[in-house]
Structure 1
Amino acid sequence: MSSTELSAESAPLRSGRRRRRRRDPEGNMPLKEHIRELRNRFIIAALGILAGAVVGFLFYDQLFGLITEPVLEYGDVGGGRNTAIAFNTIGQPLDLMIRISIFVGIVVSSPVWLYQLWAFIMPGLKKTEKRYAIGFIAAAVPLFVGGVVLSYVVLPRAVQFLFSLNPEGTDNIIAPDVYFTFVLNFALAFGVAMIIPVVLVGVNMMGLITGKRVLKSWRGTVMFIAVVSALAAPGGEAMTMFFIMGPLTLLFVIAIGICLLNDRRREKRQRRREEENEALIRGAGR
Structure 2
Amino acid sequence: MKLRTVTRVIQSHPSKDGDGVKINRVHGFNDAKLSPFLMIDELKSDNPNDYIGGFPPHPHRGIETLTYMLKGHFQHRDHMGNVGELSSGGAQWMSAGKGVIHSEMPIMNDGELHGFQIWINLPAAKKMLPAQYHDFQAPEINEFGSAQNLLRMISGNAIENGEAITGPLQNTGVETLIADWQALAGEARNIAMSSAYQVNLFVYKGSIEVAGKQISQGHLVQLSEGEQLSLKAVKDSGVLILAGLPIDEPVVHYGPFVMNSMDEINQAIQDYQNGVLTE
Which category describes the TM-score, using the shorter chain as reference length? under 0.3
Q: State TM-score, norm by structure 1.
A: 0.23
Structure (1/2) with the larger helix percentage: 1
Give the structure-2-normalised TM-score. Answer: 0.23
**Which is strand-richer, 1 or 2?**
2
